Amino acid sequence: MIDIPRIRFAQLPTPIERMPRLSAALGGPNLWIKRDDQTGLAMGGNKTRKLEFLIAEAQAHGAHTLITAGAVQSNHCRQTAAAAAQHGFKCILVLSGYPPKEISGNLLLDHMLGAQIVWTSRSERDHTLQKAFNEAWSAGKRPYLIPYGGSSPTGAAGYAHAVAELLQQCVTQQEIPMPDWIVFATSSGGTQAGLTVGAKAFQYPGKILGISIDEKAEALKARVADLATQTADLIRFPASFSPEDILVNEDYLGDGYGIMSSVEVEAIKLFASHEGILLDPVYTGRSAGGMLDMIRKNVFPTGSHVLFWHTGGSPALFAEQYRSAFV
């Protein structure tokens, strides 16, 4: 395994904390949380780890402009805009949807961070993204295209390294046990691909379970396996992966991406009221809600250690379409 170019600006290692009150309320496993909502970079999140490698690659390519895409309340876009501001890039964000009457949540931060917003429909997003790239190139802005969620082999490498960080914490901090399960939100696949590679490279003995946010398990497992194989190749780790190597739960897709239901609302309220931890309504709310349901169904053995990997996103709590659920 080789080191690839990286610019260190994340606040690492992120803490691992026990959740005793939530564990007691639910019964069953012992719950822990890894706080990647505290990675820094405009209110934190999992994209910080990916962007350390993506920004290094953009600089190596001589880029002047970062271009990426996402939904209106995209955490990835917010953190990309922050990384661009921090490292002297222009930033163009292609957002799916319509300009809201009230600018709030992540979108408000996108504007504050100086990003140029290009609006498009979900069906036209890929076309609009490529058009924005071509126009920036023709204008001499030297663009660097970051895929959805930062989920390229370069971005996923951030989470291969994150496994080493986790295992080191378990060794050096005696109060932190080796988790039997790692549970987290999975969508574009980069976080899960990186964790999958890191688990094999650093011999993590437990299970890695992604709770799907917006896609059926079969397609997501295939994409994660392919991306994990490409990531392993990038860092020169001799491994390949198949969909059978990837654990994904698709039971909590609800009515679709970004549509909050009682699953997310309950999880957000329980984490806040029992542990003082803020989740988000799209990713961590849904994945934590799925984990809570699995605990009640006795999926995780009593007394086992389950680590919820918090991937950030709390600015979306303040978005107009979500906040009314909590007042």
* Portion of the chain with pLDDT greater than 70, in percent: 100
- Among 202-216, 295-309, 313-327, the least confident range: 313-327
Within 10 angstroms of residue 140's Cβ, the number of other Cβ atoms is: 9
> Does the pLDDT value for residue 207 go beyond 90?
yes
**197 and 204 Cβ atoms separated by less than 8 Å:** no
Rounded Cα–Cα distance for residues 8 and 28 (Å) = 38
The pLDDT of residue 58: 98
* Portion of the chain with pLDDT greater than 90, in percent: 98
Quick check: helix, strand or coil at residue 140? coil
pLDDT digits (tens, 9 = 90+) for 113-152: 999 999 999 899 999 999 999 999 999 999 999 999 999 9
Residue 1 pLDDT grade (very low, low, confident, very high; cuts 50, 70, 90): confident
Question: What is the total residue count of the chain?
Answer: 327
Q: What are the strands, taking DSSP E only, across 152-218?
A: 181-186, 207-212
| Helix (H) or strand (E) run with residue 30 in it | strand 30-35
Rounded Cα–Cα distance for residues 39 and 197 (Å) = 21
Quick check: helix, strand or coil at residue 171? helix
Mean pLDDT of 235-254: 98
> Does the pLDDT value for residue 193 go beyond 90?
yes
The pLDDT of residue 327: 85
Average pLDDT score, the chain: 97
Mean pLDDT of 164-184: 97
pLDDT digits (tens, 9 = 90+) for 75-98: 999 999 999 999 999 999 999 999
61-150 is classed in which CATH architecture?
3-Layer(aba) Sandwich (3.40)
Tell me which of 3.40.50.12500, 3.60.60.10, 3.40.50.1100, 3.40.50.970 is the CATH number of domain 16-45+153-326: 3.40.50.1100
Q: Which residues are marked as active site?
A: 74
Residue 232 pLDDT grade (very low, low, confident, very high; cuts 50, 70, 90): very high
How many CA within 13 A on the CB side of residue 322?
26
The pLDDT of residue 285: 98
Rounded Cα–Cα distance for residues 144 and 57 (Å) = 9
Of 311, 326, 244, 282, the residue nearest 45 (C-alpha): 311
pLDDT digits (tens, 9 = 90+) for 300-311: 999 999 999 999
* CATH 3.40.50.1100 segments of the chain: 16-45+153-326, 61-150
The pLDDT of residue 2: 85
Environment class of 230 (CB within 10 Å of its CB; exposed 0-12, middle 13-18, buried 19+): middle
Mean pLDDT of 177-196: 98
The pLDDT of residue 299: 98
| Helix (H) or strand (E) run with residue 78 in it | helix 75-87
Q: What is the DSSP letter of 318?
A: G
> Does the pLDDT value for residue 273 go beyond 90?
yes
Residue 27 pLDDT grade (very low, low, confident, very high; cuts 50, 70, 90): very high
Rounded Cα–Cα distance for residues 316 and 79 (Å) = 13
